[in-house]
């Protein structure tokens, strides 16, 4: 199909195909942005988890070094919670602070995914709307004197292209959305794993605070 033919079909849809093309561009921008960010975050998180797991006990200088290495990762807030709380909080308090850091970081992970979710729902509806507009134009041929019935079938075929385009945009968006959502879950799992590893490897300032009082032997 020639470029002029594509333009004619887009004009036949009363501009709906142009709107679908814009939605596709928006979806691709979100997909590329989130895929790049989450891929880098997952790789960095895996390195951090492996680095922490290699230690039996983490000293202050090792914690600072790991924090510096995670400066551009969401796990940095977990290390900040440890460095700010270690030596003054009990294990339970430190665990709560780390959980709080994870909850504050979580919204950064699925940022702009709502745009992709909206496009997945909107694109098929917009394609169907364009098809209905094209049907109006196609059957209007019969209302004009001397209108050829073959023009109706050609108009219906052109009108159905918008529905196909809307479904295509939605399918691409759905595949990407599911993949990105799975990546977000993986990052959160890495952060929870890191939280547990750090709790088991840092020295708590007041270990007695979480223990029951001992009874003197008679």
* pLDDT for the residue 208: 39
Can you give the pTM of this predicted structure? 0.79
- pLDDT of 215 reads 32
What is the predicted pLDDT for the residue at 171?
Answer: 96
134-150 burial string, b = 16+ CB within 10 Å, else e?
A: beebbeebeeeeeeeee
CA distances from 60 to 23, 57, 63, 89, 202 (A): 50, 10, 5, 15, 9
pLDDT at residue 14, rounded to an integer:
73
Q: Do 38 and 109 meet the contact criterion of CB atoms below 8 Å apart? A: yes
Residue 89 DSSP SS3: coil
Could you give the CA distance from residue 150 to residue 144 in angstroms, rounded to a whole number? Answer: 14
User: How many CB atoms are closer than 10 A to CB 25?
Assistant: 10
Each of the 218 residues of the chain gets a pLDDT tens digit; together they read 555 556 666 666 677 888 899 999 999 999 999 999 999 999 999 999 999 998 888 888 888 888 888 888 898 888 888 888 766 667 788 888 889 989 988 888 888 899 999 999 999 999 999 888 878 776 666 666 655 556 566 667 777 888 899 999 999 999 999 999 999 999 999 999 999 998 888 865 444 344 344 333 33
């Amino acid at each position: 199909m020639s470029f002029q033919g594509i333009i004619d079909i887009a004009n036949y849809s009363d501009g709906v195909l142009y709107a679908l093309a814009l939605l596709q561009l928006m979806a691709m921008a979100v997909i590329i942005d989130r895929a790049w960010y989450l891929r880098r975050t997952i790789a960095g998180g895996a390195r951090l988890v492996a680095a922490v797991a290699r230690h039996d006990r983490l000293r202050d200088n090792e914690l600072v070094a790991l924090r510096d290495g995670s400066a551009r990762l969401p796990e940095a807030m977990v290390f900040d919670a440890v460095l700010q709380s270690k030596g003054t909080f009990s294990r339970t308090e430190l665990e709560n602070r780390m959980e709080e850091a994870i909850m504050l970081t979580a919204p950064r992970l699925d940022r702009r995914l709502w745009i992709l979710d909206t496009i997945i729902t909107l694109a098929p509806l917009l394609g169907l709307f364009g098809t209905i507009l094209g049907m109006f134009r196609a059957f209007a041929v019969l209302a004009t004197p001397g209108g050829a019935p073959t023009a109706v079938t050609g108009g219906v075929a052109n009108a159905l292209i918008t529905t196909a385009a809307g479904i295509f945009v939605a399918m691409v968006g759905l595949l990407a959305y599911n993949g990105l959502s799975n990546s977000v879950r993986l990052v959160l799992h890495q952060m929870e794993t890191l939280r547990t590893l750090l709790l088991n490897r840092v020295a708590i300032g007041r270990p007695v605070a979480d223990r029951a009082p001992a009874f003197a032997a008679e």
